[in-house]
Structure 1
Amino acid sequence: MTIIFTTESGADIPRELAEKHTIRIVPMHVIMDGTDYLDGFLPVEQIYDHYKRTKKIPSTTSTNANEYTDFFTEIRREFPDSTIVHIGYTSRASSSFQNAVIAAEEFEDIHLIDALNVSGGLAVVVLYAARLLENDPAISLQDLIAQIEAAVPKSRLSFIPGSLDFLRAGGRVSNAAYISGSLLKIKPLIELVDGRLMSTKKYRGNMDRVSEKLFHDYLKAYDINRERLYFLYTLGLEDGIKRRIDEIAKENGFEHTEWIEAGAVISTHGGPGAFGIAGLEN
């Protein structure tokens, strides 16, 4: 039996990791200037340039049911006897997972898991699933799915947008909150609470200070497995911040860390210079 893992582009899994673990990724959408772009095929720089010109951010949309049907059909052509395990973008922030459910009704041997997470938090679950199978190729499908589902509530994502401008343009903060936040250099912490994106805390200061404070708070809040940790960023995050974060990770005993650049969908919401952390609790 061949097991193929699938997910959406909103997981931000780098292409090389997807290829290494035979993970198939279906694109979500970015709508800009009336044109529908597939996430993963739109350079993030174009989004930022668009905002500079128009002071508007693109809209993002889910993968639709017809696209999932085509996606699953193509996988079955390539792997006729495969079992597909789809680990999806949180159903509480997008209709993408529900569209996958609709499409899967036309197929046999497709199993769907709502990761209740996005970006690196989703990537953590998908990559964990891939390693489970690689470490134990004889694992039963039932045990594999049970272990993946058990990992879902243990995936922890904390994310700080790089720009209040993007949050205001997208209608996610009021003008009053934007003005006070900009004056005081306040940055909201975004986390997944029951699968929903929530602002849970506010930090004050420049991103170099805030990112370091976030990392220390993250390690205090969660008992993260030291084997593997992922750092997320959008284009524009300073290299000096990355170096300092790597130092803190090493000081705290993390064996393997990976930097993941957000794609167009997540960058549209996070703005330039955003930073996040994703890991799996023990």
Structure 2
Amino acid sequence: MRRIILSTESGADLPEDLADKHDVQVVPMHVIMDGQDYLDGSLPVKDIYDYYEHTKKIPSTTSTNSHEYHSLFMRIKADFPDCIIIHIGYTSKASSSFHNATIAAEDFEDLFLIDALNVTGGLTAIVMYAVTLLEKEPTIEPASLIEKIESIIPKSRLAFVPGSLEFLKAGGRVSNVAYLGGILLKIKPRIELIEGKLVSTKKYRGKMSIVTEKLMRDYLNQFDIDREQLYFQYSIGLDESIMQRMDEIAKENGFKNVKWMQAGAMISTHAGPGGFGIAGLEV
């Protein structure tokens, strides 16, 4: 029986304990700060926020390049010579990473690429779905596994609200007028992944404790999420009382397992401190 190895990018924010436990290989994306290139995962998120406090600038992010993918796939093949690699990638609609992976893949056999059309918790939900399938059916045919993974991609639902509009403004993602209006009215946008693209679908008004509860209830009303597993994402700075309240709501709604995921440097660069997100799979 040939072993199937799963891989993904650091933009999945896949918790290290899950990656280690299930042997999921994670390749880092990049954060560029003050002219220096850092691998996502090597740069403490707090450094990003400290940098912004001092400069009012945010770092930029770049994709994993084709050489890095080639090195990843070479390393996997060296460790498991007869393996089959299935790479579940960060959405191609928001990064060139997936395109770079396809370039690297040309040199390998038994390597399959899947565009997850998702990021952070939405991507992790898909990766962990694949992990579960493999554990339930270790002898599953690769073609069957790939078909099942691809079928779940449209059912992975991610929604989040940034903790601060300052990072969106500093990164050029909102106009100054929208920023000032948002601050004065205490408005926060709801961001979703729709066909792989990040889209603002709604605006919430109020302090973060109110906004997160509105987001959670709207999300559960909109999507029939599998109660077996729910993923919460947060960027450092989210109030602990909000986290406790989200756990309570998840329990009230019958979720059996909740996994909290801290946003890494790459995602935090876009979301800013104190952000909150939800991800799960529709039944």
TM range (shorter): over 0.9
Q: Give runs of aligned pairs for residues 18-57 of structure 1, distance below 5 A.
A: 18-57=19-58
Per-residue deviation, 1:138: 1.5
Matches within 5 A, 1:203-222: 203-222=204-223
What residue ranges of structure 1 are gaps of 5+ in the alignment? none
Pairwise CA distance, 1:262: 0.4
Deviations 1:74-96 (A, max 9, x none): 11111111100000000000000
Cα deviation, 1:15-57, whole Å, max 9, x if unaligned, reads 1100111100000000000000000110000000000000000
Give me the whole-angstrom Cα distance separating, in 1, the residues matched to 2:75 and 2:191. Answer: 35
Question: Would you say 1:238 and 2:239 are equivalent positions?
Answer: yes
TM-score by length of 1: 0.99
Could you tell me how far 1:140 is from its partner in structure 2? 1.2
Partner of 2:84: 83
- CA separation in 2, counterparts of 1:141 and 1:4? 10
1:210-245: CA deviation from partner (whole Å, max 9, x where unpaired): 001100000010010000000000000011001000
Q: Tell whether 2:153 aligns with 1:152.
A: yes
- In structure 2, the partner of 1:169 is 170
State how far apart, in whole Å, the 2-side matches of 1:152 and 1:216 are: 23
Task: Give 3-state SS (helix, strand or coil) of 2:73's partner.
Answer: helix
Q: Which residue of 2 aligns with 1:108?
A: 109
- The CA deviation at 1:98 is 0.5
Q: Distance in 2 between matches of 1:236 and 1:135?
A: 37
TM-score (norm 2): 0.99
Mapped partners of 2:228, 2:120: distance in 1: 20
User: What letter corresponds to residue 220 of structure 2 in structure 1?
Assistant: L
Distance 2:259 2:193 in 1: 21
What is the percentage of aligned positions where both structures have the same residue?
65
Runs of 4+ in 1 over 4 A off after TM superposition: none
- Alignment partners' CA distance in 2, 1:78 and 1:142: 23
- 1:108-132 Cα offsets, whole Å, 9 max, x none, are 0000000000000000000110110
Give the Cα separation in 1 of the matches to 2:173 and 2:252: 36
